Structure 1
Amino acid sequence: ADFHADLDQKLAIVPGAAFDSYENQHKDECLPGTRTDILNQIKEWAASPYREAIFWLYGIAGTGKSTISRTIAKSFSETRSLGASFFFERGEGDRGNARKLFPTIARQLAIIHPLLMPILHEAVNDNPGIAAKGLREQFDKLLFQPFKKLPLSDTSLQSVVIVIDALDECEGDGDIQLILQLLPQLQRVTTMRLQVLLTSRPDLSRFVFSKMKLDHYKDFILHNIPLEVIEHDITLFFCHRLPEIRVLHNLPTDWPGKRDLQRLITLSIPSFIFAATICRIFEELDWDPADSLSSIFTQQDDRTRLTGTYLPVLDRLLNRQNKNQKEQLVMQFRQIIGAIVVLETSLSIGALSRLLGISQRLIHLRLNPLQSVLRVPDNDITPIRLFHLSFREFLLDPVTRTKTPLGISEIETHNMLTKKCLQICQKLEENICQLPNYGSQNVEIDRQTINEYFPPELQYGCRYWAHHLVQCTELTNIAYEAYSFLQTHLLLWIEAMSLLGHALEISGIIDLLQTAIGGNAPPLILQFFHDAKRFVLKSQHIFDQAPLQVYRAGLVFLPQASIIRTIFADKHSHWISQCPLVNETWSAELQALEGHSDSVLSVAFSPDGYLLASGSKDQTVYLWDPATGTIIQILDGHSGPVNSLSFSSDSHRLATGSDDKTLRVWDLATGEELYVLEGHSNSVLSVSFSPDDRLLASGSKDQTVNLWDPATGTIIQILDGHSGPVNSLSFSSDSRRLATGSDDKTLRVWDLATGEELYVLEGHSNSVLSVSFSPDDRLLASGSEDQTVRLWDTARGSLKQTLDIYSSSFNSVVFSPDGEVLATGSANWVVRLWDLATSTLQKTIDGHMSLGFTLSAASESVAFSPDSQLLASCSADETVRLWDPMVSEITETLNEDDLEPPVDVMAFSPDGLFLASGSFESPVVCLWNTTTGALTHTLEGHSQPVTSVTFSPDSRILASSSADGTSRLWVLPIGTLKQTLRPQYGSVHSVAFSCDGRLLASCTDDGKVCIWDLTRGTIYQTIDCHSESAYSAIFSSDSSLLVVGTDDGILRVFDVATVELYHEVDGHSDWVNSLAFSPDNRLLASWSMDETVCLWAFDKGGLSEIWTYEITDDAYGFFQDGLYLQIGLSPLDVEMSFTNSVFPNISIEDGQWINLDGKRILWLPVDFRPKRFKVNGNKLALGHASGKVSFLQFCI
């Protein structure tokens, strides 16, 4: 298999990061005889099998860290002990951040070690989009786990070194800290000895090194090398470079003389950058080295060494110019060199020319005299780079502007680059890459296509315009500039960012703009940015997967009053003529987080607010970034549902409790288990760290509470007192008391110093499902299956107040950290917020109704973020939801009886004006206006749930069947009951009209089919199918034959007039649920509970099988011309000779995508995914678990 090509497509890496990349080919290495001590120490460290995982080499700027890194990387490469290298460099795009650090390292390791290649390839395929995931997830899936799977061999003793240079130049302190937490875990790999050489400036010590175990790293302080050693090495450097300079300029063989040479050496100590820069100045052909030497010595009096080196370079640029030329030079210098030093990532001369609108010739003219401080390429495609960041610092230093007119104003340069970036972004257009359809996935688009439509300057402008804008001074200007651009280009910009792989950065950029603006803008602009933020948060993950969905799903499901929906309304008209009904305004829901494959049972925020954890019935724990909604890591270890979880107070550990009877304590830096705690004899239902982290408590179905020492994983004490499972527990803020709630209907408060019960709180009439201390410990809240929440006075041990809604069990209660609000989660998917000052219901938030689980399965947990600004909830719908608790969303109090049951059956009227829906959980039939999407009538009459609905051919009568043994006929359009047909044969599974509308067949659960004469309202015929139950029936086009599907999987064809069995065929192994004829009556399709669809040729009443197709959904039907049979969630093209339909082939794929003619056109958010769907021409009806029906009509 071509693993290399596939990984090139799926695993994004950073070009130019490796030590031997094209970008690094001209950078210096250590001269022979220099740096010998440190190089030898590194080699000895790497050769020893029992040394530390990390060698940290650090030193102040200019001491040669990167030169040593390149030298050692080359040396290890030659001995085949180099695993990978990554050279960070600020201002070099993704070399300046950690987004692709681990993918780049993993890719290099797999190239060097072929056995790793198929393992890495499997990991990438098993984790789509891993390159965009969090660092923890990347480290685990791309490095740690693949190496654990590597087969043991002689290489297990081999040292493999990863070189990471200039980690301090990585943006984001949080990322640096996390990298330093993760890297020591490579020591735990046994299949190969992995070590890391890490270089940085000294200030990296403020992160993790001060806390890291001494056996994890070895350090070396580069600027503390004895001065005589540094002097020796710098002397060798000058002795190596000066002869070349003498030859270049035809200088005397003793130039510059012993005295001046010694002075240069002294000035250079300890900075090799100083020495290297001086030599590059001497090498310039346009300048006399003797003059340069004199200028350098002259400028040293009152300035730092590097300033005294750089200033002469600028001075001599000006010396040759007259007044007018100087003014022009200064202006051009500030534009060109100012841009180079302020750019977020380096650009080539060609790209810089196009961005700034300055000719390449002029840029070359201004750069050529600066080749001692800038790496100026000899082509127009290689980026221009600084030799050292100190040149940037020098130019931007306000003091420099007092010494030379060539000093750069950072603010003015950001202003200029903002304008240039926004100008270049005017080139954006819809579907800029000319993708074949609006559901095209990012993974399907090759990099060559992206680069063809996005030249480097356009990529730069899209990604960084806002970074420059927020560093301008005028807040009002920032607001108007951003608003002016985004009100016309928001969708285009989001598309571009998504295509470029930066979709998950968009919400952060909008945050950046909002923070910079504050309240300093008109209300309309402030509202626009609020709207934009909600828009991006809601759909950023689909934008990341399918960029063009910004014009489809992004807009279609926006609230009606959304500013963005209004501004970009014209984007709808050409492809969709009817959109589904949506909320009028933004709800409290910010994001729906998807990933779990079963019910989510528990959620918790880390105390530092950076993580959100969720435990699921799928036996996994997910760690999310609550700011972006992205998955950071998946913790996999439990063998049963994860019922509860709790963070330690320092956010470094997570405890989880499961049905597998264990607790597990996880190291969140690595995702590894620290302990598996065994001691309970039944499911662990609740876990909690004490606020001081000295205790870990667990409540179990075995009716006990165990207190553990989290440092050792041993049991300290067992609290025994409950007579039922312990569902919940909560520590007081001082860690001295523990409250527990149980199925025995009581709460108990324990003194942890003695292990004794302080008091037993009685009052609930059913199981206590959740307990929580208030932040000030004055209140204890309890939620119960008796449908009440009770607030207890902890000082007196007495009931203070009862909050009763009597709608559903209260499965979760939690106080906001500020103590002002109590949040409750219920089994009916409802989250309620209570104002504790008044003890009144403040807000009701409805959610988690997308998949149609029964109320008893809809267990819901809620958690506040530490700043009380976010509320998380989870449920059986497999999602975690993030809410804004500040949104003014007060909805009517819901009771269980008020919740609409899920849609299970649907039918369009033949004229397309109506749709009828019913539920297997309700006796009510709903009638919908398909034009407006409104529910027009609820038809009540059945006493048991509805089993099917169907319309007469003239659309004037609606027939419904029910488990109550009746079929009912309703007159349209007002929905009055016309007739009740009671066959006396038990429950009616389904009904079917004859094509002339005169007969109605009803299938019953005793194996009979009653055929009703609708003109008389009497039974015309009764057919005995000789089976236990008849499930489905359909008339032939002339109404003379009836095909019946039964519980035994047999299809039987009966003569309607004589009820004689005409033909039968055994096609399925389970009951036949539904039947459909093609429009010409020549084909019959049957769908069975054995999860197969059979296609039959229907000729003169006989059936002969054409094919059988395995399927797991009941949505199928022929289109108008019979060309397509829609099966389940994808269309199947049947080879037929019929003409094409004027309507598109509409289908649903994976429950998430609407397809037109086999192409993805619209992604469906969680709450719009259907439980059932029906197609009528170019109109699609989606029946939801909430009981609602959404309608979409597509333009032909």
Structure 2
Amino acid sequence: MPPEIIFVWQYLHTNVDGLSGAASVIAVIDISAKVASLCFQYSVAVKHAKGDIERLQQKVNNINNVLEKLQQLLHKQDRSQLSTIRTLLDPLQRCSRELEELEATLKAKLELSRGRKAMQRFGIRALKWPLTSKEVEKTVRNLQEYENTFSLALQVDQTQKLDLTKLPIAAGASFNAHTEEHNARCLPNTRTALLKTVAEWATNKDSKSIFWLCGMAGTGKSTIARTAAQKFAEAGELGASFFFKRGEGERGNASRFVSTIAADLVAREPGMLPGGQQTSSAAPALVVVIDALDECESEEDIRGILQLLTRTKDMRPVSLRVLVTSRPELHIRLGFKQMPNGTYQDLVLHEHELSAIRQARMLSPDWPTADQIQALVDLAVPLFIFAATVCRYISTKGGHPEGCLNKVLQYQKSTFSQLDRTYLPILEQLLTEQEEDEKEARLQAFRKVKEVACRLDALHSVLSVPDSEHVPVRLLHLSFRDFLVGRQRQGKSPFWVDEKDTHKQLASYCLELMSNQSGLRKNICSLSGPGVLRSEVDKGVITSNLSPELQYACRYWVSHLKQAMSLVGEISRCIHLLDNLQTLIAPSAGTVLSFLLDAKRFVLRFQSVVADAPLQLLYACVRARDEFSTAKF
């Protein structure tokens, strides 16, 4: 993580004694001088590794120079007025330890070589540099971070001013940013127990400062984080939020993470600024929401963020709670494990969902096993909808959760594609305990679009099936469509659907529906006369005469039945439908094309009238029959 970002956080958390910081500065100056001297001796005596030695020596000298300037500043000013010296104790101590280890390594090798009599034959040139290039690179990188941290501290104390209200922020990272406003929140009466747990954690003064909500891809972490952030904001408890998103510029890394959080916190509670005035007499408790930490592109940045978060439990004058969501990636798990005891509590979301199923279905306390959970985690990558789909499938009424889970785990990565692993276990239950001829009949029925209602019971895991028959059935995820109609799946999946043939069936069904006795007819809503405006027609009259399925047929089958289209307020759609129909007609069919052209001209000519008074369509036809010669009205 960039050291200036580390420092901003440290600037908000200044509880280190100034005298200890000053003593640490002197200690690091002393040890850095010793290491620089040893590097010089090696540079003279060693024939190879000159570049590595010079790089390391230069970096150590840089740290020495910066800290000497800081020491001079300490002598000139009152330590209590130097805000940053109190923040440097931890990096100074870590830098000192690393330099001490480096000194010990260099010194031991140097003394050992000098003590050998055999070396005298060949001279000091026989001395070897004890570090590999990789070790030097790692050390130089660490020392660079220390140097930058110390340099920034020096700059701030020299100016005695850091305006946190003008910090650079990551655009679009907030939960209520424009880029996030259309992303999902938890639906009403869903995730209630989990959201209650998070809310109680945030308001309990004895709770741990960090709540880690962990879950495999597709378990709804971001939806929960977004909902929780909104609830905290409505309650006046949200201090800041940062929603990581890989590949989205500053949202995909930590370059502006802490500055964004700091700016939000200062805007919410000016008392966090040195010398600032609190907005209330009681110390407020604010929540910081950090979503999708695993989307941060640098593992090193993630480790740095987790280290910084451990400081929140002691922050004053504002008490902070931090809600973090992420996938259970190894480096994140290790980062949390390295936190001091009592720093955080966690909830593994996919285990929480499976636990709810276990309790609801009264299964064995050891279900599912740790190996089964890990297998699900592995299978969930990279299709995020996998986890949610599997949990819905396992909890389906009528099925046995243990059997369903075992079924899912049969589809291993080495044999099946991600789409197959997600959807085959669900669809193959349609064929369970069927003879071969019965299986084929069921597959044929599955591909048909008639008698839909009786086929939906087993598909709630992949479809949103409403209670009302007047509300459309929807896909839960577009990947299910890819699974069904993808051309590359033809001949490979028994559930493959020929999209072209299905569209033909739908067109035929629409025509059949519009043509039968309960379909379209003259003056279908029994209006009293051609002067009746559409706005005067009760919606109930339209609905009772034009059923949802009949309206669907009229909307999606290109036809000249404009009267019905006008009654549902979509006469303008006819123009688009006629254009589409023209593209399907062969150029040789001149009569049909002429008819469609006349029909389009007719709609354009009279659409404003017909849109208001549908029955005027009939009279318009009579008036226009001479002008539109090919359209037989």
TM-score bracket, normalised by the shorter chain, equals: 0.3 to 0.5
Structure number with the higher strand fraction is 1
Calculate the TM-score normalised by the size of structure 2. Answer: 0.47
Structure number with the higher helix fraction is 2
Calculate the TM-score normalised by the size of structure 1. Answer: 0.26
* Higher RCO (Cα < 8 Å, 6 or more apart): 2
